Structure 1
Amino acid sequence: MIRPLITFCLSLFITVPLIAQTVSSKLVDAKTQKGIPYATIQYGEHQGVISNEEGLFSFIIDERMTALDSIYISSMGYAKKGFTLEQLQDNVILLKPKAIELSGVYLFDKELTVDEIIEKVKERLPQNINKDAVKQRFFLRKAELGNIHKVDFGFERSSIKELNKELMDSIAASIPRNNHHYTESLGDLYQNNGKYKLNILKAADLYDKSEIASFEDLGSRMEAIFKENIKSDSYLKIKSGIFSQKVQVDSILSDMEEEQAETVQNELEKDTISGLLDSQRYIFKELLKELYHKEDSKLDLIEKTRKYHFELVGYADIADQGVYVIDFTPRRSSADFKGRLYINIEDFAIMRLDFENVNRLRNFRLLGITYREVLYKGTMRFAQLLNKKYELQFMDYSFGQYFAVDRPLKVVEKNKHVKGRRKQNELLLNIDFRMGHTNKWELVVFENSLIQEPQFTDYKEDKSVQATYMPRYNPEFWQGHTIMEPNQAIREFTVAEE
Structure 2
Amino acid sequence: MSKTPFLLFCFSFLFTTSLIGQTISSQLIDAKTQKGIPYATVQYGEYQGVITNEEGRFSFVVDDTTTLLDSIYVSSMGYAKKGFALEQLQDSVLALQPKAIELSGVYLFDKELTVEEILEKMKERLPQNLNNEPVKQRFFLRKSELGNIQKVDFGFEKSSIKELNKALMDSLAASIPRNAHHYTETLGDLYLNDGKYKLDIIKAADLYDKKEIASMEDLGAKMEDIFTKNIKPDSYLKIKSGIFSQKVQVDSILADMEEEQAEAVQDELEKDSINGLLDGQRYVFRELLKELYYKEDTKLDVIDKTRRYDFKLVGYADIADKGVYVIDFWPDRSSADFKGRLYINIEDFAVMRMDFENVQRLRNFKLLGITYREVLYKGTMRFAQLPNKRYELQFMDLSFGQYFAVDRPLKVVEKNKNVKGRRKQNELLLNIDFRMGNTNKWELVVFSNSLIGAPEYEEFTEDKTVEATYMPTYNPEFWQGYTIMEPNQAIREFTVEEAK
TM interval, short-chain normalised: over 0.9
Distance of aligned partners of 1:438 and 1:256 in 2 relative to their CA distance in 1, 3 Å threshold: farther
Look up the equivalent residue of 2:236 and give its one-letter code.
Y
Look up the equivalent residue of 2:24 and give its one-letter code.
V
Q: Which residue of 2 aligns with 1:112?
A: 113
Deviation per residue, 1:320-357 (Å, 9 max, x gap)? 00000000000111100000000000000000000000
Q: Which residue of 2 aligns with 1:403?
A: 404
Q: For 1:327-476, what aligned pairs fall within 5 Å after superposition? A: 327-476=328-477
Distance of aligned partners of 1:256 and 1:168 in 2 relative to their CA distance in 1, 3 Å threshold: farther
Q: CA deviation at 1:247?
A: 1.2
Aligned equivalents of 1:241 and 1:314: distance in 2? 56
SS at the partner of 1:438? Answer: strand
Aligned equivalents of 2:408 and 2:160: distance in 1? 21
Q: CA deviation at 1:210?
A: 1.1
Distance of aligned partners of 1:97 and 1:44 in 2 relative to their CA distance in 1, 3 Å threshold: same
Q: Which residue of 1 aligns with 2:141?
A: 140
Deviation per residue, 1:449-482 (Å, 9 max, x gap)? 1111111111111101110000010000000000
Distance of aligned partners of 1:175 and 1:257 in 2 relative to their CA distance in 1, 3 Å threshold: farther
Structure 1 unaligned segments of length 5 or more: list them: 1-17
Structure 2 unaligned segments of length 5 or more: list them: 1-18
Q: CA deviation at 1:274?
A: 3.1
SS at the partner of 1:33? Answer: coil
Q: Which residue of 2 aligns with 1:161?
A: 162
Q: Which residue of 2 aligns with 1:233?
A: 234
SS at the partner of 2:458? Answer: helix
Q: CA deviation at 1:295?
A: 0.1
Aligned equivalents of 1:336 and 1:370: distance in 2? 20
**Residues 1:192 and 2:193 aligned together:** yes
Aligned residues: 472
Q: Which deviates further from its counterpart, 245-254 or 131-140? A: 245-254
Q: Which residue of 2 aligns with 1:7?
A: none
SS at the partner of 1:298? Answer: coil
Deviation per residue, 1:399-435 (Å, 9 max, x gap)? 1111000000000001121122111000000000000
Q: Which residue of 1 aligns with 2:172?
A: 171
Q: Which residue of 1 aligns with 2:10?
A: none
Q: CA deviation at 1:255?
A: 5.8
Deviation per residue, 1:9-66 (Å, 9 max, x gap)? xxxxxxxxx9611110101101111100000000011110000000000000012334
Question: Which structure ranks higher in relative contact order (CA pairs < 8 Å, sequence separation ≥ 6)?
Answer: 1
Aligned equivalents of 1:47 and 1:248: distance in 2? 58
Q: CA deviation at 1:219?
A: 2.3
**Residues 1:254 and 2:255 aligned together:** yes
Q: CA deviation at 1:220?
A: 2.3
SS at the partner of 1:403? Answer: strand
Aligned equivalents of 1:54 and 1:194: distance in 2? 34
Look up the equivalent residue of 1:141 and give its one-letter code.
R
Q: Which residue of 2 aligns with 1:81?
A: 82
Q: CA deviation at 1:256?
A: 7.7
Q: CA deviation at 1:68?
A: 4.9
RMSD over aligned CA atoms reads 1.7
Q: Are the counterparts in 1 of residues 240 and 246 from structure 2 also a CA contact under 8 Å?
A: yes
Look up the equivalent residue of 2:403 and give its one-letter code.
Y
Identity of aligned residues (%): 82
Q: Are the counterparts in 1 of residues 44 and 68 from structure 2 also a CA contact under 8 Å?
A: no
Look up the equivalent residue of 2:354 and give its one-letter code.
L
Q: Which residue of 2 aligns with 1:486?
A: 487
Aligned equivalents of 2:410 and 2:96: distance in 1? 59
Q: Which residue of 2 aligns with 1:44?
A: 45
Q: Which residue of 1 aligns with 2:216?
A: 215
Q: TM-score, normalised by structure 2?
A: 0.92
Q: Are the counterparts in 1 of residues 143 and 441 from structure 2 also a CA contact under 8 Å?
A: yes
Aligned equivalents of 2:339 and 2:171: distance in 1? 44
Aligned equivalents of 2:280 and 2:317: distance in 1? 39
Look up the equivalent residue of 2:225 and give its one-letter code.
A
Q: Are the counterparts in 1 of residues 180 and 212 from structure 2 also a CA contact under 8 Å?
A: no
* 4+ aligned runs moved over 4 Å, structure 1: 255-258
Q: CA deviation at 1:483?
A: 0.2
Q: TM-score, normalised by structure 1?
A: 0.92
SS at the partner of 1:278? Answer: helix
